[in-house]
Every structure is written in C-alpha cells, then in structure tokens.
Structure 1
Amino acid sequence: MQLYTLRGEMDQKHLNFDIVVIGGGNAALTAAVEARLGGASVLVLEHAPKAMRGGNSRHTRNIRAMHAAPTSVLTEAYLEDEYWDDLQRVTGGQTDGELAKLTIRSTQDALPFMARCGVKFQPSLSGTLSLSRTNAFFLGGGKALLNAYYATAEALGVEVLYDTQITEVTLEGHRVRRLKAVSKGFPLELACKIVIAASGGFQANIEWLKEAWGPSAANFLIRGTPYAQGGVLRNLLDQGVASVGDPTQCHAVAIDGRAPKFDGGIATRLDCVPFSIVVNKHGQRFYDEGEDVWPKRYAIWGRLVAQQPDQVAYSIIDARAEKLFMPSVFPAIKAESIAALAEKLGLEPTALEETVSRYNAACVPGDFDSSTLDGVHTEGLSPPKSNWARPILQPPFIGYPLRPGITFTYLGVKVNERAEVIMRDERVVENLYASGEIMAGSILGKGYLAGFGMAIGTVFGRIAGKEAARNVRY
C-alpha cells in the first residue's frame, strides 16, 4: 500500500504497506499482529488519539473461551455443545451457525495466542465467580490488554497512525482501490493492496441511532468510545456491500442513569436488577427481574429500559440486598420509607408504594440464595419474578436510576469464514476483510453472551490477519 498524499508530520516519508488495518481495538490489533507474523508490512489507522486508543476494548475485562479441561484461570470444562446452547438461548437462534461454531471452536486457541502477545490473566474475583468456568479475565482489564497488543505489534514492526479518520473506502468493481482519510488534520490518501476493516459499529452516532430507534435514541447513553461513528460501515454499505443484522439490535445494558453520555465504560453498569424490582417512570414493573442468572440476562435490560417512557427506569431494593452486587460508582439513593424514596427518585409515591405492596404480597417464602437460580418466586403477579423474589421490607430502601447503555450495534457487513467481505451480488471483495463489531451481526442477531464480543473480535481478527497476509503473498 503506497502512501501518496500526506501533509504534516510524515512529510518526506515514502512508505509502502501490504496491509492497512482500519481501527485500533482488539479486533484490529489481533489482525495486525497475525498479518505481520505472516510476513506482511502493516499500517494501523486508529481514529482516536493515542490516549484514547482501543475503541470499546478499553473497557472490556474478559473473553468467553471453550476449553476441555481446567486451565490456570478457567475451572472445569466448557465444551462446544454447551457454548453453542448458551449462544442459541440468548440469540433466539438468530445467528449464522457456521460462523458461530467456527468462533466457538477457535476460542480454545485464543488464550495461548493472547498470552504470547503479553496479555496476562487472573482468576475470577468475587462478583464474577459465576463466570469462572466460561470466561477468562484480563489482569488489568482492557487497557492492559491493549497495551500488550500494541507493544507486541510495534515490536514486530507494525506502524500506527493515531488521530486518523477514514473518510472514504473507494470500491471499484470488487476491489478496494484507495482510502481517503484525515490524519491529525491533514489529508491522507493511500492506494490499496489489502484492507482489514475493524472500525466498530455506529453506536456513538446518535443521528444514525435515531434513524433506527426514532427520537428516543437521544436519551441513550453510550458506554464505549465516542469515536464509533460508523463512517466506514456506512461508506461500505452505500457502495453495495451486503449488510447483516438489524439496526435496532445492539448490545445494550442497563446502566446508572447518572453516567456520562459517552465512555462511561463497565464501571457504570448496574448489577442490582436480579435482587430488585424495576419500575418505569409511572412506578410500574414491566419485566421478570429474576428470569435467569445475570451473565445470561444483563444484556437484555438496556433494550427493555429503552422501550419505557422517556427511556428511564428505577431499580428498588432494601437494605438486605445492598451487599449482593457490585455497587454503582455513584452514591446509592436511600430513604427510610418507600414514599420518601419515590420522592427522591422523582416518582409518584402512592404508585410506587402500591407496586411494592403488590410485589411483597406475591412473594412465596423459600430458601433465598443469591449465587444460583433459587426458585424463590412470586405467585399471582404480572409480570412474575421467577427467582430471588424476596419482599422489600427492611429500611433503608435504596433506588438507582437506570438508562439504556449502548455498547455496540449489530448492523454490519457480511463476511464468510475467511473474514472476506461479501457484496450484495454475493461476490467477494477481493482485497477487503472485516473483523470485530463491524461484522459481529453475522453471529449476534440479537441478545448477548458475556465475553462473546471479545471472542468474535479475537477469532475473526486473527482469521483476517492470516488470510490477508496469505493474499499478499499470492
């Protein structure tokens, strides 16, 4: 790939690259490392400045991995059939089975690859023990993961340009011919050999979200990077690349309503829902809070809250539940009575008192156990609560405001098992590959499984890097 128009700090350089990777997160870096190990010269174009590099990977903390026996950080075994069943359950079958099973099987090789890149792992800690068998946690979280990848890539000779936004990916026929970008305020144009698109979804583009969701999207909070504007995705779809996924489907969780508009990350997530009742602005419950264990259901709650008036809800617990979950980064809202709590939350006191009273009366006594599906449920209540249905009786009463926290969108480009991008006429784009959130809709039609986004990005990043390097050679 020849750099032929650039003004600024790279003047006087004449560089040629075999492969350009668009993006700077997990999916991009795994692709860049594999492509470089395959003998190709590689340039990474990261939209964000260096201090904000890494996209949503900055906020991640684990990857879901298949394994046949215990490892240094994973307990017991987690085999393909169970992994597949878990994915089927959360997606309702809306997944490409071949690509999904390829992802699942490939995760058993992911951890050794990551370790070779300097990524370190730790056992599950308190609050994540339910994932100790399925998910490997990164020591130091997403930033440490990214630092390891960048250090490995740079040691291998991968070049990185930060603060570089792609403005156009030019397709002619079934090939990418050139890239246009703005790099640190200066125009950049590159003639192409091979491109890997790993630039994420469009979740930070509020206007695009409004196209799918309507005006309610203005109330969404974006958990991850503000740089996920979807420019590359839109550009490719406008030029005839086949799309997959529904623009209204996304990884959306319920987060603290006081979180910032962008980049609040995982710290803003609220895990109190299973042990609470959740009400809308009218003080009414709207879904079964105890339907399943939290790692298999937390990702539905952003969408549920998004469907409520003003896209807001409130989680209500009593003092007995306060220590059962990781607390919010914001102070709990407390009161000595349900009516007083309602006033602090901006709810109508009588409506909330009546909802709590009906819930308490419907709770069936049982052996409460926060660590498992305990079957402690309600009877005669709609919607029901299937587990952890303990009356809200002991002051102080506690409330948290909830809003939809969008992590990433599922509308993306269609790819095959080699990570090659497919046009609407079903032909392959000869020199374009994709990995990560920009193609995850092929596998995640709806719903989410904890750690699965990292699995997709790692697996398809590695596939894209290897295939692109092989294509350069031939």
Structure 2
Amino acid sequence: MTTDPDIVVIGGGNAALCAAIEAAEAGARVRILEAAPKPYRGGNSRHTRNFRCMHHGPLGPLVDSYTEEEYFADLMKVTGGETDEDLARLAIRASEDCLPWMESHGVRFQPSLSGTLSLARTNAFFLGGGKGLVNAYYRTAEALGVEVLYEAEVTHLEREDDRITWLDYTHEGQSHRLSPKSVVVAAGGFQADTDWLARAWGPAAKNFLIRGTPYNRGVVLADLLDQGVEQVGDPTQCHAVAIDGRAPKFDGGIVTRLDCVPFSIVVNKEAERFYDEGEDVWPKRYAIWGRLVAAQPDQVGYVIIDSKSLKLFMPSVFPPIEADTLEELAGKMGLPPDKLRATVEGFNAACGDTSGFHPTELDGVATTGLTPPKTNWARPINQPPFYGYSLRTGVTFTYLGLKVDARAQCTAGNRPVSNLWAAGETMAGSILGQGYLAGFGMTIGTVFGRIAGKEAAAHANAT
C-alpha cells in the first residue's frame, strides 16, 4: 500500500487476525502492524492449544453438547461472578458459530489430547497447536490482500475528541505516520513490562516469569489510557498459572505448564502445604495457582508426587527431579528434609479409602482431619521413586485493558470513540474480572476480533 489503509490492526495474534480477515472480506484495505519479528508473530496465540466452544450436539471434534448455561456457570465459578454478563454471554453464544468459521479460514482441529482431563466436550484442539492456527490465519489474510508489517511497533495514537486522527509507528529504523479510517487494537496486555507489573503487585512481581510473548509491553494500552480512553479491570488481576521453575523469563509457553497439581501435594520453601490441590478439575483451577504461588515466600512452590502418579498428567518440557527417598528429594530441591518427611507422612495418614480414585473426574477421594484438606484424588505418596518439580508464577496476560461494548467499540468520556475498536487480551478484562477458564481467552479473541473487524470495516466503508 502506498496510501493510508482503510483499517490498521495493531497486533498479530488470534484476535488481530480474525479482525483483519473479517475486515478484508468486507472490502476494506487492511494493514497489520505486528511488533514481533516474523518468526515470533502471533503473540500469545502461538502458545495456545484450544478454544472453549458452546455447542448443541456434536460439532467438529467436540462430542455431546455444551450449553450456554453450563458454559456460563463454569465461567461464574472461576471468576467469582466478576464478569460483565452481557458480554460474557455474547462471547459464549457466538463461539458456536466460530468453529465452522475457523475451519473455513484454514484452521484444522484434532481430538482432545491425552492428559487434558476430558476436555473433548468443551474445548476444540488445534491441529498443530496455536502456531498452526496463527499460520493458517496469516495465509488466509495475505490471500485476501491484507498487508503485514513485522517489527512495526506502534508508539502513539492521537485522539481528538471522539476519534483517532492518526497513529505513529516505527519500522526498519524509521518513524511513520498513518491516518486510517478505522483502528483495531489487539496488542495484548502489559505483562512483559515487568516494571509495570511491579507497580501493580509490588516487588514480588520481579520474581514472576512471563510465559507469553515478550512483545506485549502495553505501549498502546498505556497511550490510550493516558488520553482518557475508558479502562476496565484490576492491574493485579491476570491469567497467572504455576509453571516449571526452570522456565525462561519470557516466552516459555504451554510446554512449561505443570498439570500434576491434582495428583500431588504442593509445599512452600518451608515444606508446608498451603492449599487444597484437589479442589476441582484442573481446567477450572489451574489458573488460580499462579496467584497462590505468588503469595508464598520467595514466590516459589514445590510439587511432590510418587511413581504411581507420574503418567497421569501432561508433563512439563523439563524432566522431574527424581529420588529414591523423600529426604534425598528434599536435598535436591533445597527443602528441609525432616519437615518434608513430616508433611508427607501427615498427608498420608489423613488419606482414607482410595478405591474410588478416578483421575479425570471429581472422585471424592479426600483427606480427613487435615488442614488444608485435599478434597479429591487424595492418595498416599508412598511409592518410590519420588518426583518433584519447582513452581513459579507464570503470567500469561493481564486483565487491565480497554473497556468495550457489544460492538467491541472503545469509549472515552462516556461517548464511543467513533473509529476505535479493541479485541483479545487488550479488552479481556471486560469479561474476566478475575480467574480463568481453559480456552476462554481464545474464545474472547475470536468472537471480539470478528466483531471488531466487521464494525471497523462498516465504518471505513461508510466514511
């Protein structure tokens, strides 16, 4: 494009691509500005595996049915009611139409993976993972004439009254200015700016790992908030999970997540348990463990399992620490050996009848007289060798973002910004007040990306 495009989409992940594809199919000239280099394009979407989808009866790879009310109840449980019900139900209802739309735009699906705790009914898994999805969308977008610039970082959007008049970005060492008719912001949260995290969380945030892309630094988000675009969400709320303590500071992705907590005990550096490891099935509870670990001394935790649980979960990319005795395991993990032995023995003594143990559903196999209790999957840890993993808080994305309405449109001063829309993680706080539900981030991104693309194109075509 030698002239200004009709629409600029800021970001290069799932939500941005859905917006760009919808806008291009509506006849608009679209340019994507992706801050990452091409090999790292796609934001956090590169690390995803599935999206959560309502459906009446079997749909694609999904079996049985998953109703709106059940979906919404699952969301309410993990968010504690901290959600915008209208927007949440919009995302849930629209998800059913998204799966065939995704297939028609190049995304392929596969049956649910082993070790994913029976998600075959609720979550559709991408063939090739998130990278396969991202690559499919880029092929589709480019075939539709969407122009993509990589290493193109947007530095400022100029808001005048109720519209964005121009935006600045850098590319190949030079500054550029565009005046598009419509702008879609899909540039994620601010989690890669650890100074911003520390301002929200305090010094403990310096010990957090960022499991997502290092390019989501919140530059566009901060710029718009500073200009009075309405915000939503709490800066301390985020999608934070417990990940392998050996993960890199940035971009460890899905392969660093640890799914063994339900079959373990989790202790802090004093070898003391601090929460019910069996509270609920893992897809509804894995996202609380990042915050739980963050509240422990030095923001670390340790998973302890024995040999009979080793094959029950999707492992981390790193092998577990192994030892023939608990004392040896404690030594390798830097835990007090006597205290770990006492904690495990106390847990084992509180375990009862384990004949009803069922790893993929709530089984009621619980401890008795133990604080905190373990309410499901409570089996003694007594079969060597013993295994351990260290845990750190891994932040995926933050929930402070741009407030949107049902048209994905942003507001300022209680008025819509006439040519500004937002989609994906940068507006997910409109629905996720706290907590997380597996696969729901991709649902939000897909639904609101499509809405934003259609609305931005309608505005551009009418201007």
> Quick check: TM above 0.5?
yes
Matches within 5 A, 1:190-201: 190-201=178-189
Q: How far off is 1:174 after superposition?
A: 1.5
Matches within 5 A, 1:159-178: 159-178=147-166
Cα distance in 2 for partners of 1:71, 1:243 equals 36
Cα distance in 1 for partners of 2:166, 2:460 equals 16
Quickly say closer, same or farther: Cα 1:131–1:281, change in 2 above 3 A: same
Q: Which residue is 1:371 aligned to?
A: 360
1:318 counterpart (296, 306, 327): 306
Matches within 5 A, 1:112-261: 112-128=100-116, 130-261=118-249
Cα distance in 2 for partners of 1:437, 1:184 equals 27
Give deviations 1:387-413, integer Å, cap 9, x for gaps.
011111111111100001110000001
| 8 Å CA contact retained: 2:116, 2:314 | no
Normalising by structure 1, we get a TM-score of 0.96
Cα distance in 2 for partners of 1:266, 1:328 equals 9
Q: How far off is 1:370 after superposition?
A: 1.0
Cα distance in 2 for partners of 1:389, 1:182 equals 55
Cα distance in 2 for partners of 1:348, 1:333 equals 16
Structure 1 spans left out of the alignment, 5+ residues: 1-12
Give deviations 1:308-359, integer Å, cap 9, x for gaps.
1111000001111111112221121111111111111001111111111111
| Stretch moving more, 209-218 or 359-368 | 359-368
Q: How far off is 1:16 after superposition?
A: 2.6
Q: Which residue is 2:331 aligned to?
A: 343
Q: Which residue is 2:32 aligned to?
A: 44
Q: Which residue is 1:386 aligned to?
A: 375
Cα distance in 2 for partners of 1:337, 1:268 equals 26
1:327 counterpart (307, 315, 321): 315
Q: How far off is 1:241 after superposition?
A: 1.0
Report the secondary structure of 1:168's partner residue.
strand
Report the secondary structure of 2:346's partner residue.
helix
Give deviations 1:115-140, integer Å, cap 9, x for gaps.
11111011112112510000001100
Identity over aligned pairs, percent:
66
Q: Which residue is 1:463 aligned to?
A: 451
Cα distance in 2 for partners of 1:398, 1:123 equals 30
Cα distance in 1 for partners of 2:281, 2:172 equals 46
Q: How far off is 1:40 after superposition?
A: 0.7
Cα distance in 2 for partners of 1:295, 1:179 equals 40
Q: Which residue is 1:5 aligned to?
A: none
Q: How far off is 1:244 after superposition?
A: 0.6
| Stretch moving more, 104-113 or 319-328 | 319-328
Q: Which residue is 1:440 aligned to?
A: 428
Q: How far off is 1:300 after superposition?
A: 0.6
Cα distance in 2 for partners of 1:396, 1:167 equals 54
Cα distance in 2 for partners of 1:185, 1:473 equals 32
2:282 counterpart (294, 301, 312): 294
2:295 counterpart (272, 289, 307): 307
Query: How big is the alpha-carbon RMSD for the aligned residues of Structure 1 and Structure 2?
Result: 0.9
Structure 2 spans left out of the alignment, 5+ residues: none
2:422 is the alignment partner of 1:404? no
Cα distance in 2 for partners of 1:119, 1:192 equals 29
Report the secondary structure of 1:137's partner residue.
strand
Report the secondary structure of 1:379's partner residue.
coil
Report the secondary structure of 2:118's partner residue.
helix
Cα distance in 1 for partners of 2:94, 2:428 equals 15
Letter in 1 for 2:54: M
Letter in 1 for 2:126: F
Report the secondary structure of 2:197's partner residue.
helix
Q: Which residue is 1:9 aligned to?
A: none
Report the secondary structure of 2:221's partner residue.
helix
Q: Which residue is 2:348 aligned to?
A: 360
| 8 Å CA contact retained: 2:116, 2:313 | no
1:87 counterpart (66, 75, 78): 75
| 8 Å CA contact retained: 2:239, 2:399 | yes
Report the secondary structure of 2:328's partner residue.
helix
Cα distance in 2 for partners of 1:115, 1:392 equals 45
Report the secondary structure of 1:21's partner residue.
strand
1:77 counterpart (43, 65, 83): 65
Report the secondary structure of 1:131's partner residue.
coil
Q: Which residue is 2:406 aligned to?
A: 417
Letter in 2 for 1:396: P
Cα distance in 2 for partners of 1:399, 1:129 equals 21
| 8 Å CA contact retained: 2:55, 2:96 | yes
Q: Which residue is 1:283 aligned to?
A: 271
Letter in 2 for 1:412: G
Cα distance in 1 for partners of 2:64, 2:111 equals 13
Matches within 5 A, 1:443-454: 443-454=431-442
Report the secondary structure of 1:180's partner residue.
strand
Report the secondary structure of 1:449's partner residue.
coil
| 8 Å CA contact retained: 2:60, 2:99 | no
Report the secondary structure of 1:334's partner residue.
strand
Report the secondary structure of 1:444's partner residue.
coil
Q: How far off is 1:473 after superposition?
A: 2.2
Letter in 2 for 1:415: V
Letter in 2 for 1:376: V
| Stretch moving more, 222-231 or 125-134 | 125-134
Letter in 2 for 1:43: R
Q: Which residue is 1:269 aligned to?
A: 257
Cα distance in 2 for partners of 1:107, 1:189 equals 36
Report the secondary structure of 1:130's partner residue.
coil
